[in-house]
Homo-oligomer: A and B are copies of this chain.
Amino acid sequence: MNEVVVLTPERILEVTEDVLRRFGLAKATVVDVARALDVSHGSVYRHFPSKASLREAVAKRWLARVSAPLDEISEDKGPAPARLERWLRTLCFAKQKKVSEDPEMFMTYMTLAREACSVVKAYKEGLVDQIAAIISDGVKEGAFDVADVKASARAIYEATIRYQHPAHADEWKDPDLAVRFDALLALLLRGLEARKR
């Protein structure tokens, strides 16, 4: 039996998520994490230079999990407009599902993300790049007509903020949410669309 499990960053992150779930963001301490790992808290500092960096790593892992299904869609084949719509729906739906399934944990991750703003910035840039890739495909297909792919991608990203940014999570309970989101998507896709001539 492999009774003594080695202390790895990955294992620390897993246990940290667990501690965050059980104690909540405000109460979870490095000492709690160390206790759950059955090591001294000094050992945790061997792998993460500070509590802030540990939290940042947790935020990064969470964001990566949220955006994982999007990578596939952006690299898929098929008509760009439908693909962009699917990508945006997947992103927003993933966030909305997370908040409805476990609001406390969502709030925890949201606060973590707010603290780790450099990580969030990189995450956002990654998302905009994926949108840009789909729009670029659409331009090649002749389905889209845009002056500046990157700028359009950013505009699309920003226009959907209300449906994916945690700051607006309390408005996602609206029963008309889906209808409103459909209207927004239709407007945005129409804005990218190449005009018949």
Contact = CB atoms under 8 A, between A and B. Distances in A.
A192 interface: yes
A52 interface: no
A187 B191 CA distance: 5
Given A167-B167, A188-B191, A191-B190, A183 B161 contact: no
A162 interface: yes
A154 B163 CA distance: 13
Interface residues of A, number: 28
Nearest to A154: B180
B162 A158 contact: yes
Interface string A131-165: 00000000000000000100110111011111101
Nearest to A197: B196
A180 B158 contact: yes
Nearest to A160: B159
A83 B75 CA distance: 40
Interface in A164-180: 165, 167-168, 179-180
A167 to B, nearest CB: 4
A154 B181 CA distance: 10
13 contacts: A154-B183, A155-B180, A155-B184, A155-B187, A158-B162, A158-B163, A158-B180, A161-B162, A165-B168, A167-B168, A187-B192, A189-B191, A190-B191
Given A152-B187, A161-B162, A165-B167, 7 more contacts: A155-B186, A156-B187, A158-B184, A159-B188, A167-B167, A187-B191, A195-B196
